[in-house]
Chains A and B, each alone.
Chain A
């Protein structure tokens, strides 16, 4: 049974009065390094939350460990700063037992993909009603600068003075491989795009994974410069929009087509002849194949040809809905539980005094 976004969201009570960004700011002093990309994300989240119109007491932020995981302390909602990597598991218990809550997970590349990799993939495959914000800065910040599972191969850090030997994960590819029903990517500095993507995630029934490229100006400054620098960005960033041809570059000079020889995607210079063959982005495609192929266009070292936006958004049964349905079905089939009958069972004997 598939539940639509509107019916799932309707389980979360609405705010009685109009809310503002201020309502979502906690009284705690924000303690990220000056210039950290996390500030922009926090502002975007606090800024868009009022638009959701949900009662803020029914919103919960759960995080693990790392710089990004301090996030819940700054949100004037319910929140839990848990332990390294486990936020998706904890949030799963919360979301599956309380369908009247809007549950958000804030995590980082180390938290989600290294120590917590198992929980992330299983949350995605189960399609629990969670919104997971993965702040990817391609470095370990809180432990002061070791390479992370998204760092590029050969990265020189304190723990890899001769260069890292690990091939990086592409979080979007990983999520699509893990059966995610909603996968998007955005960038900390692009407030408008970030907000649009967050809104789409919030509307999605089931697990939504949003990878947010986030600059760590202390240990990995400029990691995403290719995507932010005005001149480079036009060539580097592929902005995906559902229903639109996938074009990028100056004046849309480049496009993505399917290579008939291999079935794979490739980038071509757009001409009058091939314009009709430019792939139209279909985020709702039942098959994840094209979304996966799109996620592989990016060069892991230079980040050129990085698609951003909603790569995949499909509806499939939501874990917490199915769990609640089973409880209802059990009552329908067997009646509401009768403890006395349960304890007695069927084979008893009586001792008379």
Chain B
């Protein structure tokens, strides 16, 4: 770990003089320009929602990943597909933080802002500290476009950007010029301006370029002229950086080799990692994967991804609604599939009754909730952690459901496997709580060896499991495993095990309908005991200094909380950190851990849902620190809040 807070200028005078043109795949320009070493950089690409900023950010990220930096990304886009052009609500941005060391967040403030139009500048400039670099597409700074977002005078000329290092670049004109020979219309040629910008930034940071060229040729395989135009724009951007005097310096950020354990790595987003986790779980359980789903932001990418892998025996069913999505999954679970439904908060609300049925049927089922801002439609493209209590309690009756939460994009892979383990072992629906930040954000992931993956194989019932008083051998669908309290999974097609299950209360053991009061009391308590008894790993506490304050988090706040904790420790403060993967049941040692500390602080992107659970369960005076603005915590703010709590 080097400095989390260093500015890009920190090593600015360490000019590299080795003179090599290639460093581990890094592409260094051959020219005479000065090259400086940085330990980390945060870049934000911002433009109109039609400008292709997400693609630009994705490509820059891929280049960065293939070079071996540690990285973390934060895509941020409006819910509208094409919000009115040139307006503040229409601004789409992509922030990427990359470093030569281990980093945890997409970064608080960008060192470099690429603003494709006045709206992008206006919406983002406040986040850039003075001294930061601002690359603006001057072609879009016409009077009308500036007035539209409230600039009365041009910010490029009125001194309002004094203190920033501004690079005015006529990106649109240069792109059109570069593509003259392609015979494209002006409008078509303009579209490649994001690739010009990408080329320029790739030059500035010595990113490898082969990947992007290959990507463009694959993406536009059916339109080779468009592919070549984009490649040409990308190269023109690179060459522009190399030749123009405005860009006097380029930068290197060395690979983060020492930050990573040995292994083969790739970059991965949360939704992709989660999709792969589900496919891996299916293989490890030796059960076919069945997804029943209805499109919803920000979960749809899992449906898209799984739909591409039918050669793994994956069945994906795009249902008529959220209820049918989970209904079909439950039907497939009855038939012996590893069944999954994917959704976001509003979808969980619609699925509640079926989750309750799955609790009653005691069938394995994964319910994946990619949380977004709520209530109701809320903020579809923004992140939030406010479905925790819905996951815990959002059903009629006593309907306990295990809750598992990944902490980083790559961790979504392991969390999916863990959720599958619980579902299959205990024959229960499991809620997997990811969120928009994890779903769309990405980071390097050490690709696991297949033999590292857990064995998730489970046994179907094959014969009678009970002897009646008269000696008859029968099958009892609710006769439980004494250790796990799981009931047998007898799938249709198994001779002699024909049985009926349903949502009406069942007699313990036989599973026949029973309205007996004592039996209902027993069944409610047994279902609860089964969930309470699920084996989960003990909570690990990171506390090198014997702190008196514990910061406890869950889910996607892991990165920002850990970054904040590092800041505090670097400044000599003492704080302990623990992060929950299992929200239900809690780790066995959680109460004991909480009892060790004078103060417990719980940062959450909601109004204190975990804090509520902790207070109720352990009678601990947990303090909440909350943010519900649709964005992840910033490490600096969080560190200040934690410090306040420590010093209080």
Contact = CB atoms under 8 A, between A and B. Distances in A.
Contacts of B448: 343
A339 B450 contact: yes
Given A56-B498, A62-B331, A78-B499, A101 B492 contact: yes
Nearest to A334: B311
B513 A73 contact: yes
Interface residues of A, number: 62
Contact of B495 (A26, A55, A60, A101): A55
A107 B379 CA distance: 38
Given A57-B497, A98-B492, A339-B279, A80 B315 contact: no
A323 B309 CA distance: 13
A327 B498 contact: no
Interface in B227-254: none
A331 B68 contact: no
A326 to B, nearest CB: 5
A326 B280 CA distance: 20
A294 to B, nearest CB: 28
B588 to A, nearest CB: 32
Nearest to B67: A349
Secondary structure class of chain B's binding surface, majority of residues: mixed
Contacts of A122: 319-320, 324
A101 B331 CA distance: 12
B1 to A, nearest CB: 16
Contacts of A80: 331, 334, 361, 500-502
B331 A90 contact: yes
B361 to A, nearest CB: 7
Contact of A339 (B257, B261, B280, B512): B280
Contact of A93 (B276, B312, B328): B328
A96 interface: yes
B263 A81 contact: no
Interface string A307-340: 0000000000000000100110111011111011
Interface in A259-309: none
A350 B262 CA distance: 7
A253 interface: no
Contact of B330 (A77, A90, A118): A90
Contacts of A348: 66, 264-266, 447
A342 interface: yes
Interface stretch (B30-38, B335-343, B545-553, B593-601): B335-343
A329 B313 CA distance: 11
B249 to A, nearest CB: 26
A165 interface: no
B345 interface: no
Contacts of B99: none
A79 interface: yes
B319 A89 contact: yes
B556 interface: no
B298 interface: no
A180 to B, nearest CB: 15
A164 to B, nearest CB: 26
Contacts of A86: 323-324, 327, 354
Given A81-B502, A93-B332, A349-B265, A342 B309 contact: yes
A251 interface: no
A96 B328 contact: yes
Nearest to A94: B331
A115 B211 CA distance: 52
Contacts of A206: none
A351 interface: yes
Contacts of B67: 349
Interface in A58-80: 58-60, 62, 65, 72-73, 75-80
A73 B513 CA distance: 9
Nearest to B290: A97
B320 A118 contact: yes
B499 to A, nearest CB: 7
A353 B264 CA distance: 11
Nearest to A95: B331
Given A323-B315, A344-B264, A353-B262, A91 B331 contact: yes
Nearest to B273: A343
A250 interface: no
Contact of B288 (A97, A342, A350): A97
Nearest to A90: B331
Contact of B500 (A72, A94, A337): A72
Contacts of B565: none
B137 to A, nearest CB: 28
A219 to B, nearest CB: 21
A336 B353 CA distance: 37
Contacts of B65: 347, 349
B224 interface: no
B61 to A, nearest CB: 10
Nearest to B493: A58
Interface in A89-127: 89-98, 100-101, 118-119, 122
Contact of B263 (A65, A326, A330, A351): A351
A28 interface: yes
A205 B416 CA distance: 37
A161 interface: no
Given A28-B513, A93-B331, 11 more contacts: A58-B492, A60-B334, A72-B500, A73-B513, A79-B501, A94-B335, A101-B493, A119-B324, A336-B312, A343-B280, A351-B264
List the 4 closest A-B pairs by CB distance, nearest first: A81-B502, A93-B331, A93-B328, A89-B327
5 contacts: A57-B496, A92-B317, A95-B331, A336-B312, A337-B309
